[in-house]
Structure 1
């Protein structure tokens, strides 16, 4: 699992530029699925079919895009200014290593004015930052252009004995979980068709989740994303990393589907916590729920510290708990979904 998470995290693809990684993700799914395709928006859809005709369809979905930056100008000195793509935590950008995806991949660092030149007590604003590649202005303009994407360069590394830290674990860790689920059910005779989705453009508006739900028209769906892990400055509505996966309850989530997932966790001794979302969960579950004529939807979340930074941190055990919960849920389905009805 660690190697899979690292491999997916090291891929580069901010929202709108996922074509840099979706072919690789599609190839990885092909080992476990009957059919794999990339839809018109760029999301990967892989399916493991039941041997039974007209089987119900379950969609399990995570997003594969990452937050990042986009070049807005190249100065006369060769520095690259940028705008953010998705909810980048601007406070963490100074001194960050990045990769500019131009005609060639350019390694760079985000520079900042010396501390004594900044207004006391103020953090640097995005417009005050720029990428320094160490190249001449002429060379930068030859290799890079306005509109090129920029990704954070941090690779995943072990943090202690049980945790991993790096970029884009939101939501590549969930993509890894789905891949492992598909591997687990590859040779099983299941009673439902399982559609695995690695959706694009979640970080800029939950777009891939919406379009794939319309394309698949599933009978039920489970979105997998991350939630906040407890840190020294954040304990409200946050969960201890390493204590299992998280199921959400609230108006965005179907109560009977969610209850069944809780029941599966109890039957199989899988550690699950409860998150309460009183409205929009801020995940693809929000859009999937209202696709077509409505889709019973649940949300599983993996606790993650330092979200939307280059050092997102999680426990592999929580990813494994997510895999186990989904695998056992799929194995228990018998093809009839009357239990979902109100």
Structure 2
């Protein structure tokens, strides 16, 4: 099994840019407590957290000393290991976890803090559960660890990949669309504060053992604009091929940027193709440009993922394409809110 998230699953076809910098002098490192207090999510850190604080010894034991056979993912910020920890609720039971280990001094410390700030407080069935965290001070410097629930069925991107031996069925794709919309709606509208995911994409949507989809990797998340404002202005960070045009061009970030990313994702579900595929002919490399001529009723079936082998409802595909197109309107004010998107997806599945 492979656990994928933004930090640990990079595709050569994805353009990633980060708007954060990391100091390499350990003397400049803020402790977890001071970092959390300085975090823009300070309104969250005031709320009670149920996160477990692990020792390095506990996590070494859980992962067989981070041995190679326990490794289930690797990427820009280190490695992910599968492990077993004791349940606090049932002391004689063990639960499977994924341990994200950031190698090197201060590697990804801001993302580590943000993950704790957000996932330590927010709870939803369609968000990956963060179980706990750990800081390891050793001769190499400071290593940062996060412990998540284990997601047995990998990422949605894995199953949409041409290399996948288990392509998602059409009904499963609709369920994934619904689960993801539920997660984003919760972040945007269902709390007394607003969170912008900022890096919504198929590799950050993981599937558990029952094939429920959950949003993962909140290292780039930002709190929403203050009341009365439509957006915040910030340096770009995220995945370029999923990013809304206004965010790329002006740095204006709002929940409507997540809505745009969701629209890109819907066309990914429909076609099975990533947003950018450099291996294809020039006019097919960029997904959103390639699909444009095929969005009428008669031609849509020409771009639906061939691995579905015709096992889908064309009416359902048309409606999903319509929802995607609404999410991808250039003017962010013209895009629906995620609650409206969720309602449209719910109605589609109910038919």
Higher helix share: 2
TM-score, structure 1 length as denominator?
Answer: 0.27
Q: Which structure is richer in relative contact order (CA contacts within 8 A, separation 6 or more)? A: 1
TM-score, structure 2 length as denominator?
Answer: 0.26
